[in-house]
Structure 1
Amino acid sequence: METTRTVAVNGIELFLREQGEGPLVLLCHGWPELSYSWRHQITALAEAGFRVVAPDMRGFGRSSAPQPIEAYSIFDLVGDMVALVAELKETRAAIIGHDWGAPVAWHAALFRPDLFTAVAGLSVPPPWRGRGRPLETLRKGGVTNFYWQYFQAPGVAESELERDVALTMRGILGGGFSDPVRSLFIPEGGGFLGEVAPDRSLPDWLSEAELALFVEAYKASDFRGGLNWYRNIDRNWDLTAPWHGAQIRQPSLFIAGSKDPVISDAMSGKQVAGIERVLPNIQQKLIIDGAGHWIQQERPNEVNAALIAFLKKVL
């Protein structure tokens, strides 16, 4: 049975969902999500013979949300997972991440291969450090309205997203990043959400009760912590200079939906196509036909089967 608790690690507190016994598996969620996003995986992986721990990540849900923007660098985020493994009195773990949790998982494997002996990423391919800072590169290329850029100024996106949290979560989770009423490029004078109807129906994988849990959590926590992850994008590029061109050599797995716009843009598409140059020991690259961005919630059976087969092979 799943249990919950809060632990002190790396100078903050993390709220955890836990279940099972066996080799440790950490599940790192993305934005704007929670440990609850792994509700379909926690029991399935535990029943398959693993000790599963899913935190609300730094800045989200019931975990600490430090005030400084600089407290959300990739070093801080990976540091939380390293400290969590120690707090759990383990010496090795598999780490799995979705959306923003995927870069945490990939970098954890990159920075600490002694600790994270297997890694899986959902929806976001592994890092391939480009020639320049990502936001700076966008500006130099004439792009000024990508949603990453809209999220930079403190308070702007918060104001839009917190105006009606129920509508925000219905639009983002219910529509996904491929929602036709919202683009990843912000229209002039517009916002990220586009026009979301308060009575828009939810996809069949998300119930009203499940959405309500996300809504209540974000009403309590607000959006600042998660948005601060985006405000470290260029800083993370600077910090990871020592790993330029490095490979992740542990056994790895990548899963994404064929309709996920995160893997369909030119840059990410190229990264997915050439994923082996970063992941020379990749066991499977699974693109689930017809699935969108919230892959582990949308298609839990296929995701669970792939994760369990991978973990049983490599742990």
Structure 2
Amino acid sequence: MDGRGPMIISTEDLWLIIIAIAMGTMARLLVLKVDYKQYPSYPNGVLIHIVLAFVAASIGAVAIPAIKSNNYTAVTFLALAVQNFRDVRKTERESLKDLEETEYTPRGNAYIDGIAKTFEARNYFALVVSLASAASMEIVAALHIGIMFQVVAGVIAGSIVYQVISRFSKGKSVGDVAEVRLAEIKVEGCEVFVEGTFVTNLAGTENAQKMIEKEGVAVIIEPSQKHSAIALHNFGQRKAILFEATRTLGAKRYNFTRKDYETGRIIILFVPIVRDLEKLIDVVKNTPLLESVKKSHAVLRSKAVED
């Protein structure tokens, strides 16, 4: 309120804010499926994501009207939002680390770092899409055409920005760089082998030997290209694969991950609670490649290799 009375928001600005918030929140919901296998507390996690998406989209939506009304101090909310999203990442990292001891196998610091960054980055999805929708609607409004044209422009602009950002930020999974298949387990005394590769010598009792041989499952991951083994052999990546496998099927007892130095293959072996071999293959293939271990083969290519 000022000396002239209360400030009343115009119909155009109201539509701008509503459409921008809707587009930003929708953009977050479209990528929410990625979080289902990464974050704990599935129902509560969904609610947290939706609320944060709405807040982020709201900040992006009101930024344009604020600039239009010469209220530049309101734009500082963008910087405040960035700092808040960073705090969310820190909180998520600490929360996941606290859960490490309660899991069948630990995620590992590399996987936790990737999840926390994803948690933060998804909020920027909502913010940027909302901002783009609002900006496009304001540009069309300057042409003095109907409100429906402005709404259509906001939806189209938001959709285009969403497609660009989602493709840019989409990471690869294990199935994109390797072949995943089931493997035969062989127990010889206290030693366990998977297709001739030694895995462990901890099967010292008869019960352990029978359990591993009859109930155990093993998966071999073969890199499709030689340089793909650089990421797959990383200990953090192997822990992430084992974590997703045991989290999906459970782990009755024993879990191992080994790498074959000669062939470059990765071996995952454990005794699951639910023996679903098809689901096991799917979850291993869909395990994301961690950002901390990915390398660009093209960038790393040396002059000697090119020659």
The structure richer in helix per residue is 2
TM score, norm. by length of structure 1: 0.23
TM score, norm. by length of structure 2: 0.24
Of structures 1 and 2, the larger Rg is shown by 2
The structure richer in strand per residue is 1
